[in-house]
Amino acid sequence: MKEMETKMIYFTVNGKPEQAEFSVDCPAQDVKDLFRSAAEAGPHDILKLYNPKGNIINISPNLEPNHPNSCYKLEVVASDCNNEPLGVELAGALGFDLSSMEKRLQGLEKKILFEAGGTPAVIYEMKKQVDSFREKLESVEHLSWLGLYKDLSEETHKPSPFYHKRTLHKTKEECDHVRDKFLKMCSLEVSEEVRQYLKTPTFDNWQWEDAEIMVLLQVMYADLDFIAIYNIEPEVLQQFLFEVYRRYNNIPFHNFKHCFCVTQMMYGLIWLTDLRSKMDSIDLLIMLTSAICHDLDHTGYNNAYQINARTELALRYNDISPLENHHCAVAFEILEKTESNIFRNVSLDLYKHIREGIIKCILATDMTSHNEILNKFKSILSHFDFTNKDHRDVLMMILIKVSDISNEARPMEVAEPWLDCLLQEFYNQSDVEKLEGLPVTPFMDRDKITKPSSQTGFIRFVLLPLFIELANLFPCLEQHIIDPVRKALDYYTEMEKALEREKQTRVQCEKAAKSKEMPVEQQSIEPKAQ
C-alpha cells in the first residue's frame, strides 16, 4: 500500500510557534478546521494567514510547505457577537454582524424545515452569500480592517488604524471626560501669543486636545465680538460647542479635528483679508458657525456611496446632497435646544437669515456643485461689490469651500498626516463598495491610486483654480495659501516620480530573477515573429 503524502506547515499565532500536518489531498474545510483548532478559534471566528512578506494567503490544501525559520503568521479575527466588546466593535465597523446573520439563517432554516418539510432554494442561496462574505474576509488582504484581532494573550495586536477609537459614535464616558476638562479650562485666559497664532494658516492642530480645541473655538467667537453683539451667553456657547463635539464621529478624517481645521482656516481668512471691514458681522457669524457644523455626524462614506447603496440618508433627501443636508439637519437639531441655541437672543427675522445662510454655506461643500459655484464667482469677480448681497453670498460659499479643502495650504508636517487620514477613509469606503458589489469610487480605490497620485491631480485641477480666483479678489492670500499649495504640488510630483522609478526598478529586478531561475535551454528560445 502506497504511503500517504503529507505536508508540514509551520506558523505562529500571536507569536507562539505552531505546526499543522495534513495530507496533500485533504479537503479544504478540514485544513481550515485544523488551523482553527491550532489557533483555539471558535466556529464564528475568521482566520487570516500571512506569508513572511506580509501578504495574505489562502488556507487550503495547496499551501506551500515551509520551514520553522520561515513561518507563516495566523491571525484570528473575532466575529462572534457573544464576545461582547469585540462583537459590538465589529458590528459597528461593518454596520452589521456576520454571526448574527448566521444565527438568523439557522433559526429560519429550522422553522421552514419544521413547517414545509424541506429547505427551499432561497435558503441555500442565502447561506451561499454568507459563506461568500466569510470567504472574502478570510482571503482578501485589503479587508483586514473589517476584523478586529481576538485577544489571545496580554500582548495582543493593535486595532486597525482605520478605527483609532473603539466605536463609531463617541461613548458617554468619552464625552463626559472631555466635557469636564473643557469646563475646567473655560475660565483660563488664552495667551495673546496663542490668539495671534490662531489667526494664521500655519496653525498646527495636532498639538491640541479636543477640550482645548473647544476653548479655542470659544476664543474665536469672543475675538470676533460675536458674544457681545449677539448676546451669546457663555454657558450656552459652551453647551453648543460640546454638542457639536459630541456629534462628530470617530472616523479617520471627517472628525472633530477636521471641523476645527476648517473653522480655524475660515477664522484666519477673515483676519487675513480684513473681512470685518468689508462684510457685516452677521455674515462672518454665519460663515464661522457653518464651518463648525459643516460635517456633523459624517460616517466616513461619501454621497456617491450613500446614493449607490440606497442608504437611509439618500432616500430621505432624494439623492440630493444627502450628507450635506444631514449635516445641516443635525446642526439645527442642536440649535433647536434652548440650552445650546447660541442664537436664542436674536430676533426671529435675524434667526431666519442666519438659518438660510448656514444652509447655503454647508450645501456649498458638496463637491458636485464645485464648478457651478466657482464659475459664478469668476463671472462676478471683475465687478465684485461687497454691498451686493448676491455677490456676498457667492463669496461666503467660496470661503467655506476653500476652508474645507485647505489642508495643503498648511505646513507639510501638518498637512501630510491629514492626507494619510483621508486615504484611510477612502480605502475603507472602496473596500466596502467591493464587498457590497457597488460601483467602486475610482479615486478611492487602493488598487488604482497612490498617495502622491491622489494629490497631484486634485491640487492641479481643484485646489489651485479655486485658490487663485480667491486670491484675485484678495491678493494678500498669494503668499499665505497659494505658495504653500504650489510647494505641496512639487512635493507630491517628486514623490510620484520616485515611486514610478522604484516600480520600474522592481520590475527589472523581477525579470532578471526570473531569467536566472529559467533553465538555460528555455532562455535561449526566442519567440518567432508572427
User: What local confidence, expressed as pLDDT, does residue 514 receive?
Assistant: 76
pLDDT band at 13 (very low <50, low <70, confident <90, very high): confident
**What is the average pLDDT across 422-446?**
93
User: What local confidence, expressed as pLDDT, does residue 520 receive?
Assistant: 55
Low-confidence winner among 5-9, 79-83, 371-375 (lowest mean pLDDT): 79-83
pLDDT band at 489 (very low <50, low <70, confident <90, very high): very high
User: What local confidence, expressed as pLDDT, does residue 103 receive?
Assistant: 63
Low-confidence winner among 185-189, 296-300, 355-359 (lowest mean pLDDT): 185-189
User: What local confidence, expressed as pLDDT, does residue 22 receive?
Assistant: 86
406 or 26: which carries more pLDDT confidence?
A: 406
Q: How far apart are CA 362 and CA 323, in angstroms?
A: 10
**Dihedral angle sign, alpha carbons of residues 35, 39, 44, 48:** negative
- pLDDT tens-digit map of 244-302: 999 999 999 999 999 999 999 999 999 999 999 999 999 999 999 999 999 999 999 99
Residue the block writes with cell 456649498:
364
pLDDT band at 29 (very low <50, low <70, confident <90, very high): confident
Q: Kindly state the cell numbers that stand for 159.
A: 486595532
Give pTM, 2 decimals.
0.71
User: What local confidence, expressed as pLDDT, does residue 381 receive?
Assistant: 98
Residue the block writes with cell 472602496:
430
**Three-class SS of residue 7?**
strand
Low-confidence winner among 296-300, 361-365, 399-403, 521-525 (lowest mean pLDDT): 521-525
> Between the CA of residue 134 and those of 78, 110, 172, 447, 475, what are the distances in Å?
12, 22, 33, 21, 57
Question: Count of CB atoms within 10 A of residue 317's CB?
Answer: 18
What residues are labeled active site? 254
Contact assessment for residue 105 and residue 130, using Cβ atoms and an 8 Å cutoff: yes
- % of the chain with per-residue pLDDT over 70: 80
| DSSP class of 208 | -
Q: How far apart are CA 466 and CA 371, in angstroms?
A: 9
Q: How far apart are CA 96 and CA 89, in angstroms?
A: 10
Question: Across the chain, what does the average pLDDT equal?
Answer: 85
Low-confidence winner among 402-416, 438-452, 507-521 (lowest mean pLDDT): 507-521
- pLDDT tens-digit map of 378-404: 999 999 999 999 999 999 999 999 999
User: What local confidence, expressed as pLDDT, does residue 100 receive?
Assistant: 59
Q: For the chain, what percentages of helix, strand and coil (3-state, to nearest 5) are there?
A: 60, 5, 30
pLDDT band at 33 (very low <50, low <70, confident <90, very high): confident
Question: Count of CB atoms within 10 A of residue 172's CB?
Answer: 9
In whole angstroms, what separates CA 312 from the centre of its chain?
19
Can you state the angle between helices 348-363 and 322-336, rounded to 10 degrees? 150
> Residues with Cβ < 8 Å from 259, sequence gap 6 or more?
244, 248, 291, 292, 293, 294, 295, 296
> Residues with Cβ < 8 Å from 127, sequence gap 6 or more?
105, 109
> Residues with Cβ < 8 Å from 77, sequence gap 6 or more?
45, 46, 47, 48, 137, 144, 146, 147, 148, 149, 150
Q: Is 174 exposed, middle or buried (0-12, 13-18, 19+ CB in 10 A)?
A: middle
pLDDT band at 523 (very low <50, low <70, confident <90, very high): low
Q: Which long-range contacts (CB under 8 A, 24 or more apart) does 386-390 make?
A: 386/278, 386/279
User: What local confidence, expressed as pLDDT, does residue 196 receive?
Assistant: 96
Q: Kindly state the cell numbers that stand for 323.
A: 450628507
Q: How far apart are CA 245 and CA 46, in angstroms?
A: 35
What's the CATH number for 172-193+208-492?
Answer: 1.10.1300.10
User: What local confidence, expressed as pLDDT, does residue 44 receive?
Assistant: 63
Q: Where do runs of H (alpha helix) occur along 273-369? A: 281-293, 303-308, 312-316, 322-336, 348-363
Q: Kindly state the cell numbers that stand for 86.
A: 469585540
Q: Is 163 exposed, middle or buried (0-12, 13-18, 19+ CB in 10 A)?
A: buried
Q: Kindly state the cell numbers that stand for 263.
A: 473653522
Q: Kindly state the cell numbers that stand for 298.
A: 459624517
**Where are the chain's structural domains?**
6-149, 172-193+208-492
Q: How far apart are CA 508 and CA 474, in angstroms?
A: 51
**Three-class SS of residue 224?**
coil
**Residue type, position 105, single letter:** L
Q: How far apart are CA 283 and CA 4, in angstroms?
A: 82
CATH class of 6-149: alpha beta
**Dihedral angle sign, alpha carbons of residues 335, 336, 340, 341:** positive
Q: Which long-range contacts (CB under 8 A, 24 or more apart) does 304-307 make?
A: 304/439, 304/441, 305/429, 305/432, 305/433, 305/438, 305/441
Look at residue 24 and tell me whether its pLDDT is greater than 90. Answer: no
- pLDDT tens-digit map of 110-130: 677 666 666 667 666 777 777
**Three-class SS of residue 37?**
helix
* Strands (DSSP E) found in 36-105: 46-50, 56-57, 72-78
In 3D, which of 157, 335, 161, 316 has the Cα closest to residue 239?
Answer: 335
| DSSP class of 461 | I
User: What local confidence, expressed as pLDDT, does residue 346 receive?
Assistant: 98
Query: Which of 141-155, 158-172, 306-320, 431-445 is predicted most confidently?
Result: 306-320
Can you state the angle between helices 370-381 and 464-473, rounded to 10 degrees? 30
In 3D, which of 155, 127, 151, 132 has the Cα closest to residue 143?
Answer: 132
- pLDDT tens-digit map of 315-336: 999 999 999 999 999 999 999 9
User: What local confidence, expressed as pLDDT, does residue 456 receive?
Assistant: 96
Look at residue 94 and tell me whether its pLDDT is greater than 50. Answer: no
Query: How would you classify the pairing of strands 16-23 and 46-50?
Result: unpaired
pLDDT band at 152 (very low <50, low <70, confident <90, very high): very low
Conformation bin of residue 27: beta by default, left when phi > 0, alpha when psi is -120 to 50:
beta
